[in-house]
Structure 1
Amino acid sequence: MNKKVILSTVLFLSACGGSDSGDGISLNKVKSNDKAKCSNSRLDSCYYDINQLALNIMFRKNDTGVLNVTASVSGPKQDIYFTGSDVLEIHADGEVFLPTNNGADSLRYENIPDNAQIYEFFWYRNSQLVEYNSIDGITEPSVILSTSQHDGSNTITTDWLNNPDYTYQIHTPSLWCTNLNYESEMFSPSTGILDNQRPPYQATLQALYGKNIESLKVNYRSCDISVTLIAKNNQVNYRNKQKRLFIHHDNFSEHPLTLFESN
């Protein structure tokens, strides 16, 4: 069960020795770990000075309207667990949400509303607030208009419902084919992520992979791709400049496309 605490009082008061986040919320200058509350392991976030860490929060709303929220920490070591005296709270619609798996390398938060007016993020160390930020919205999933069946041409097309307040990127896909011996082969595209895209996205097989549909059908039983559309709502505002607490609300949508499939 996800832990929720109904807010009934003002939670944060200005305190001596702290710095202001810009919202009248006092940030304490607690940096190093508290050995009494930390295992003193280099795998634990509380081992490090907070200025050595970056906390990344991922907001992803899926096609069914469920808001998936995860958080992970990065620092001097590749694998660090957000644990010990470090705690991340997310506030939305008057409720406090805590992770369902505290102490893991990736924290998960459940049942956060997808339509809150503001989402607030509070990072505590030794029960003292050390970092704060908020956003006033999220990015909605893109509506893919193209079907998963290819038209048989040498051009691939991904079309979607354009939102003028959003920016879009295309992550060009790899081409996956099954050869006559039922073995999978992968062909990398000539381009990577394309910025500032507007629908529809179109590219030829020749330009991306140096292939054409006719030769592929001779040598393979089937070929598939999946175009990734990355959307970002430019109307979302961050309360503070992102320093150690980074909020990512880009939304990823997939357009799977079967080029051909033989019996």
Structure 2
Amino acid sequence: MTRIHPTAIVDPHAQIDSSVTIGPYTVIGPHVRIDAGTSVGPHCVIEGHTTIGRDNRIFQFNSLGAIPQDKKYAGEPCELVIGDRNTIREFSTYNIGSPGGGGVTRVGNDNWLMAYVHLAHDCVVGNNTIFANNSQLAGHVEVGDWVILGGFTIVHQFVRIGGHGMTAMGSVLLADQPPFVMSQGQPAQARSMNFEGLRRRGFGAERIAAVKAMHKALYRQQLTLEQAKSRIAELAAQTPAAAADVDLMLSFLGRVDPQRGIVR
């Protein structure tokens, strides 16, 4: 049988796998689905149209699936979708999506999300990220794979953070942060590329060199964004091993809002 503490309140319409553990005083709503191997600690509230995948570890005192903090929201059946093998630490708040943003707030797989993290409506978080304590994402934020957010990072609505990037503690992101970039400050400014993180993930010398070249094109050669994109595109032919990294960068830069720009 599902290991549900007798003080927990689980709606009979909720879909809970038989291997799920639910702690004392937790409340589970009728439209919630929780898959195999996931554990939910005490004093959590999981509500709304929320789907939680396999083998997640959800600590105590979390609010998942509450309605968005959006005055335009009128009760539409929007969703929160959480993938597999995520760790969600205490006192976090993840809201469902909104009709104006696609209707889904989404968290991928293998993320390490520390205490007091806020994911507002329509945020999209990739895989293998680390969010340190009190990272706060406003609505419609997109975070790529392998991103690390330093403690107390604040991200403005609609901002995107490219894969393999990193922010320092207390950073305030008001513009898009391209892949591989490390930023710091209020507002955040690009400081370097996340070279140590790339080495730890197995990037070889050729790929690291290509990332350095992309950094120079974006930040060291006084090029416009369009000129930098052209310079970066040449790297794929020069360094075939880095073709996927170049594609990641160009795909990201191709979606930059001219009014918001990128961190500089």
TM over 0.5: no
**TM-score, normalisation: structure 1:** 0.23
Which protein shows a greater Rg?
1
**TM-score, normalisation: structure 2:** 0.23
More helix by share: 2
